[in-house]
Every structure is written in C-alpha cells, then in structure tokens.
Amino acid sequence: MSSLVTEAIVLHAFDYLETSRILRLMTRDAGVQSVIARGARSSRRRFGTAIDLFAQGMVEIHIKPNRELQSLVSFETTRARPQFALDVGRFTAGSMISELALHASTDESAEGLFESVELALDELVRAESPDTVSAALGGAWHIVSSLGFAPSLDSCANCHADLSPDSEAAFSHSAGGALCPRCARLASGTRSIPSTARGAIREWITGESGPRVNGPEARAHQRLLREFFSEHLGDKREMKAYSVWEQGAWTAA
C-alpha cells in the first residue's frame, strides 16, 4: 500500500451503507480517483465539509494496486464553495462541469485539466445568478481546450484557409470547427454560426469570462457544446447533469 498526497476537488458523492460516503475526486497528480470516506456520515469531525460536492483541498489517499475504490485518509478543505448550495442554477451548472470532467478523465493526470476545472467552478462562484449559464459555457469550453480539442475558429478546419472574423461560417463537429465556403459545400451535417458566436467561443477557450448570453442564444451555445463534446470527448454514457442544465427547467418556476 502507498499513500497519495495531492490536491483534489469533489466531483461526485453518494452515501454508502449507514456511515460512509463514496467520492469521485479530481486530483492534481493522479487524475480521477474513486475513494471511500469511512465514517463520514456518522461524524463530520473527521472530514467536515470535505465530503460536500465541489469542495477542494489537500487529500491523503491510501492506494492499493488493482483496486477501483481507494481509502480516503484525510481531506483538509481549502475551498468549500458553499455558494453552490444556495442557487439551483449555479448547482446544475457546477454538476454539468463535474460531469464533463468525469467523462473526459482517466486515473492519470492530464496537464491543465485540474486547473481548468478549478477555474470553471471558481468562475461559477463569482458569477451573478443570471450569468451562471454563460460562466458554465466558458468553463466547459476551457476544459475542452485544455484537453487539446479546441475547435478551429479562425481558419478552415479542413483546408486551413483563413476565415473572415466578421462573417457567418459553417461549423462541422466531425471536422473540428469552422469551414470555409468551399469545404462547407462538400461537408454534411454542418450548421451555420454567426461571427459573434465564434468570438464568444474564442474568448471562452482561452479562459476569459467572455460575453453574457441568454435566451435562444444561450440554448444554441449549449447545444453546440454538447454536440462538439460528444463528437470528440464523449462516450456512450448518458450525460444526465448536462441534460438538466441544458433544459433549464428550474427557470420556469
């Protein structure tokens, strides 16, 4: 048995038996780790707020080779992020970010991924309630970029010809981004996106806050992100948290 001491963020948590919880942690040095926090439900003295979703801190994990579930020894919380429990829109956005990270992660560290997830959650904490969709879009596109799958926006994804930054362009998920008019005529399954949408994604993939979007514009961005992620990084598992966030049913209340 060896010990792993690293920084971690709680991406998923659920109760196990009468006293414990199972957590899925995004770690800085070892990708995603599934751990059991024994006794976490019977007494919060040992782990405190560390067992809450989106909490971040230093962890010690006992690692046994060839085991899917490791033992969480300690979790020293540095950021509890209680704001997620106070706003349903913020919570669903954070759950979507966690789901994307889990779908794209392995048990090996991916350079820049931990920082991108950390930034996305921090931006959601700072965002005003009406802006959480925009903040989540920015965080998600930055995660995609950190994994090396940023879409081509300023040159044709197929022939690499320069594209006018001020014009509408065809967008192909399978090709990996925007297409010039000639390549768009030869491609199937494209959609047209305005220059403002390309500009927004351009800002988001760099980690900038980007513009505020809402209504039909926000829904179009959510759909585009989902389709692009599924094409390049997704798997066969249903993205339930993404579906709840995209539908935004809570906003009708």
Residues 103-113: tens digit of each pLDDT: 988 777 778 99
Cβ contacts of 17 within 8 Å, gap of 6 or more: none
Contact 135, 204 (CB under 8 A): no
Report pLDDT for 250. 53
Return the number of other C-beta atoms located less than 10 Å from residue 116's C-beta: 23
pTM of this structure: 0.92
Tell me: pLDDT of 166 over 70: yes
Tell me: pLDDT of 27 over 50: yes
Average pLDDT over residues 186-206: 94
Residues spanned by CATH 2.40.50.140 within the chain? 2-80
Report pLDDT for 106. 77
The pLDDT confidence band at residue 252, using thresholds 50, 70 and 90, is very low
Q: Which residue has the tokens 């390309």?
A: 198
Residues spanned by CATH 1.20.1440.120 within the chain? 83-150+192-246
46-63 pLDDT per residue, tens = 666 667 899 999 999 999
Report pLDDT for 253. 41
CATH number, domain 2-80, options 3.40.50.2300, 1.10.150.110, 2.40.50.140, 3.40.50.970: 2.40.50.140
Domain covering 83-150+192-246: architecture: Up-down Bundle (1.20)
